[in-house]
């Protein structure tokens, strides 16, 4: 009798474990307030207001005065972009910015698109995910597809974890593994010798090995900014908010090395091989005129200060997912690693070219892959 009861308990326990494991885990979150002081007593303002990007003589005169008063310093000989933004080439960029770049024209181009404002609380990635869900509901969408790269990868991932039934599909082009699980560790150790065992392609082998150089040394070379912004963003942020030339050097250096790490060996950083100076400086001007560089850097502090063991890192994504694998992305993520987090990976596309800023560098390739992914899911739903 005792044996039968024991066996029954074991079977019941096993069934309970399997049922619990099969349930989709959902990320939990609560509303917050990130504005100055306490939340308004009359509640949140839900209005959506149109606006236009504006500029004026005073704003431009202040910019030119600061540019004119910059103090250039020569770069080391033959240093190219290996020490950061090359100072000699920076002077050429600054000269173009000061004498040829037409900010008013770029403002007119920006205003060809409708712009809107609305007030929603939010700060770290989970809060930002909650904010975007609120925004989509406020705009009248009950279901939608989401795409993200860079921080957008994590925000849209969190959106899928918060409300998986609302996000119809998730498309990302950046997916660094949050935790090195056993499959990832084994694939790193044995993948070079037994690539087929882990589904590794020639590109996987090229981007991952030798591991110390590709996964450790290269990451250290390109992550110094992250350590500063994740710990003391206001210190460097104050300097960047005060100097347009410093801000340009800080931002545009990433468009060089994150597009192709070989660009570090070029005197001009390869900046205009994939981008125009007008587009790059428009990006800088959006930060400069809005004065938002410090708040953008604080996003790192808000996320990393909570530790590296947050609930969302442990929860898999069960929303249908598509991944665009660009060959020059900062961190290469093989299909095996993507599937550890995104359990319903529907498409994995090795892209022909492109780096970290893929949507800006290769907009047509990105758009086609997003469209292909959504069409794949819609066709399956119709069957």
- 209 catalytic per annotation: no
The b-or-e profile of 338-348 (16+ CB within 10 A means b, else e) is: bbbbbeebbbb
Cβ neighbors of 86 (< 8 A, separation 6 or more) are 75, 79, 80, 267, 268, 269
Is 300 a known active-site residue? yes
Distances (CA, A) of 57 to 37, 54, 60, 63, 282: 34, 11, 5, 10, 17
Please, where are the H alpha helices in 316-357? 335-341
Coil, strand or helix: which one is 281? Answer: helix
- What CA–CA distance (Å, rounded) separates 230 from 48? 32
Residue 340 corresponds to which tokens in the numbers above? 């550890």
Q: Which of 124, 300, 312, 342 is catalytic?
A: 300
> Does a cis peptide bond (omega within 30 degrees of 0) precede residue 210?
yes
Catalytic annotation present for 150:
yes
Angle in degrees, CA 135, 137, 143, rounded to 5: 115
Q: Annotated active-site positions, please?
A: 150, 300, 356
């Amino acid at each position: 009798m005792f044996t039968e009861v024991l066996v029954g308990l074991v079977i019941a326990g096993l069934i309970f474990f399997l049922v619990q494991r099969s349930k989709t885990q959902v990320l939990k979150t609560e509303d917050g307030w990130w504005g100055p002081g306490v939340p308004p007593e009359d509640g949140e303002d839900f209005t959506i207001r149109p606006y236009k990007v504006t500029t004026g003589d005073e704003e431009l005169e202040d910019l030119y005065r600061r540019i004119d008063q910059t103090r250039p310093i020569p770069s080391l000989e033959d240093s190219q972009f290996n020490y950061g933004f090359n100072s000699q080439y920076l002077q050429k960029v600054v000269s173009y910015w000061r004498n040829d770049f037409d900010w008013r024209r770029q403002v007119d181009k920006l205003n060809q698109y409708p712009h809107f404002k609305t007030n929603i609380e939010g700060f770290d990635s989970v809060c930002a995910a909650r904010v975007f869900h609120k925004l989509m509901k406020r705009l009248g969408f009950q279901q939608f597809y989401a795409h993200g790269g860079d921080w957008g990868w994590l925000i849209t991932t969190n959106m899928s974890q918060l409300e998986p039934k609302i996000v119809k599909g998730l498309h990302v082009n950046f997916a660094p593994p949050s935790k090195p699980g056993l499959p990832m560790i084994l694939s790193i150790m044995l993948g070079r010798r037994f690539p087929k065992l882990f589904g590794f392609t020639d590109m996987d082998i090229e981007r991952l090995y030798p591991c110390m150089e590709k996964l450790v040394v290269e990451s250290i070379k390109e992550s110094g900014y992250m350590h500063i912004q994740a710990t003391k963003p206001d210190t460097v942020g104050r300097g960047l908010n005060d100097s347009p030339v410093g801000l340009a050097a800080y931002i545009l250096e990433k468009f060089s090395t994150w597009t192709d790490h070989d660009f570090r060996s070029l005197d001009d950083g390869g900046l205009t091989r994939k981008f125009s100076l007008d587009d790059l400086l428009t990006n800088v001007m959006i930060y400069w005129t809005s004065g938002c560089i410090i708040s953008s850097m604080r996003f790192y502090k808000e996320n990393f200060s909570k530790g590296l063991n947050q609930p969302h890192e442990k929860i898999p994504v069960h929303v249908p997912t598509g991944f665009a694998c660009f060959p020059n992305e900062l961190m290469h993520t093989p299909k095996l690693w993507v599937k550890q987090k995104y359990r319903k990976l529907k498409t994995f596309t090795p892209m022909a070219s492109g780096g970290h800023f893929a949507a800006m560098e290769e907009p047509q390739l990105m758009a086609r892959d997003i469209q292909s992914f959504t069409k794949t899911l819609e066709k399956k739903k119709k069957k």
